[in-house]
Amino acid sequence: MAMFFEGESHTFSEYLLVPGYSSSQNIPQNVSLRTPLVRFAKGEESPLTLNIPMTSAIMQSVSGPKLAVALAQQGGLSFIFGSQTPQDEADMVREVKASKAGFVVSAVNLTPNMTLEQVMELKAESGYSTMPVTDDGTAHGKLLGLVTTRDWRPSRDPLDKPVHAFMTPREKLIVASDETSLHDCNDMIWEHKLNALPIVDKEGCLVSIVFRKDYDSHKENPLELLDEHKRYLVGAGINTRDFAERVPLLVEAGADVLCIDSSEGYSEWQKITIDWIRERYGTDVKVGAGNVVDAEGFRYLADCGADFVKVGIGGGSICITREQKGIGRGQASALIDVCAERDKYFEETGIYVPVCSDGGIVYDYHMTLALAMGADFLMLGRYFARFDESPTRRLNVNGNYVKEYWGEGSARARNWQRYDLGGNKKGLSFVEGVDSYVPYAGSLKDGVDGSLAKVRSTMCNCGALDLEELRNKAKITLVSATSLVEGGAHDVILKDSTEANFR
């Protein structure tokens, strides 16, 4: 006879946090959201930590280089999507690692023989007003000059005027060597009243640019997630099919952590993948695994050597695995079960394996509930797909701005490796995801700041100043359907809707 879990399978919306005692120290600015990313032994610290408990999903429509940099600036981490060629994924990782904090690798570059018309087109496409001129038009060619909007006037200069005729030449530029610290570069910018300072190597080739505007940006982002070389941390997704080819390329490109991207992780294929990595790299290469939805699945992956374990099957907004295959579990129930097993595992072995809650987050308060239930950090897809920095198009649909968002199991992505169960067949037998839109939500920084402001405030209501304290002090209650109605605006006529009817 089948095994039956006791009770119902619950989602986050079925729970509320009950406030606890708050001291005068429980104010949002005192709250730390720092959390471990990978496994560590009792009495030690995790080799990798997040400054905020947020990672972006391993999805084509979410995690590209631009979002990876933006999220790292806020203290979180992106996992570059793996449903592309190993070389393309490695190139994306390399692009993020090249974006050293404060040192920007130029994305738009000119050659001396390009025309003003081409410069204007590039400015319109990219939005960049400062463009270096190199001998080969690449980001690391020999620096010949710099073009800014102060160097040309479209109302007077002919459109066929060559770049070399109006650029500021190399000999008139103030530059810094690639051995100059960011602090000294900023001092040079202020001393010489510059907007941009090119960084060059001993051969005179462009390495990067330091911008005056980024000085304020770094002051505004004290939680930036950086490695020892002041480069942004970035993760990458792998699968259980081509890991022997993909992993070496990602490691060489500088990926800080890997994650096996699979719809169901309680599988020998994950063990084979982890064993292969351990045999060749030991514990130097960190790799997460998943997804699972119960204690048994967590224990299996922890014993396999996973550095963290992802929890969640079928809870994503674009995922239809549950209705297609009838497998999964309510995200809250799955998370509570797995986190209890994580703590038990820690007591037995002295090894702490962080848990990532993947899916089921609809409202900001769900984040706090997931963390209170035991999640060390969250993986979010729909949430990040809404922002400017996600790699999808922004569209106007029926008068509303939206961004495209599709699942890895959709016909559009066709990420068969994520849903593969072995054998020789290479393709999706049926879809497990949909193609959709999500409401456009502006910049990532503004969105993350707003969401985490709520998380910090709720933690203060619970008397907690860090995530461990939140888990220990949280009081959580199930709510009825009637309570859910009571929790929102009810029995009133909202002004917005009334005013709309009068227009």
Higher pLDDT, residue 497 or 218 = 218
Question: What are the catalytic residues?
Answer: 319, 418
8 Å CB contact between 350 and 42: yes
Distance CA 339, CA 344 (A): 9
pLDDT at position 253 over 80: yes
Label each residue of 89-111 as H, E or C: HHHHHHHHHHCECCCECCCCCEC
Distances (CA, A) of 46 to 286, 301, 311, 330: 11, 18, 20, 29
Query: In the prediction, which pLDDT does 99 show?
Result: 78
Give the single-character DSSP code of 458. H
Q: What's the average model confidence in pLDDT over 88-111? A: 89
Helix (H, G, I), strand (E, B) or coil at 453: helix
Query: In the prediction, which pLDDT does 503 show?
Result: 46
Query: In the prediction, which pLDDT does 502 show?
Result: 44
Range 7-23 burial, b when 16+ CB lie within 10 A, else e:
eeebbbbbbbbeeeeee
Distances (CA, A) of 356 to 232, 338, 373, 440, 477: 21, 10, 11, 26, 22
Other CB atoms within 10 A of residue 136 CB: 11
Query: In the prediction, which pLDDT does 284 show?
Result: 97
DSSP 111-177: -TT-BHHHHHHHHHHH----EEEESSSSTTSBEEEEE-GGG--TTTS-TT-BHHHHSEEGGGS--EE
Nearest-5° Cα angle at 334, 457 to 47: 65
What number of residues does the chain have? 503
Give residue 58's identity as a one-letter amino acid code. I
* Percent of the chain whose predicted confidence (pLDDT) is above 70: 94
8 Å CB contact between 93 and 254: yes
Mean pLDDT of the chain: 91
Asked which of 49-53, 132-136, 214-218, 279-283 is least confident by mean pLDDT, the reply is 214-218
Asked which of 197-211, 319-333, 370-384, 432-446 is least confident by mean pLDDT, the reply is 319-333
Quote helix, strand, coil % in the chain, to nearest 5: 35, 20, 45
Please enumerate in sequence order all residues whose Cβ is within 8 A of that of 1, keeping only pairs 6 or more positions apart, or say none: none
Model-level pTM? 0.83
Both tokens assigned to 305: 């050597």
Measuring CA to CA, which residue among 325, 327, 270, 261 is closest to residue 302?
270
Helix (H, G, I), strand (E, B) or coil at 44: coil
Higher pLDDT, residue 145 or 422 = 145
Query: In the prediction, which pLDDT does 423 show?
Result: 61
pLDDT at position 431 over 90: no
Q: What's the average model confidence in pLDDT over 481-495? A: 83
pLDDT at position 470 over 90: yes
Query: In the prediction, which pLDDT does 326 show?
Result: 78
Nearest-5° Cα angle at 118, 115 to 120: 110
Phi-psi region of 422 (alpha: psi -120 to 50; beta: other; left: phi over 0): left
Query: In the prediction, which pLDDT does 107 show?
Result: 83
Give the single-character DSSP code of 238. E
Measuring CA to CA, which residue among 146, 119, 143 is closest to residue 130?
146
Measuring CA to CA, which residue among 76, 69, 136, 73 is closest to residue 105?
69
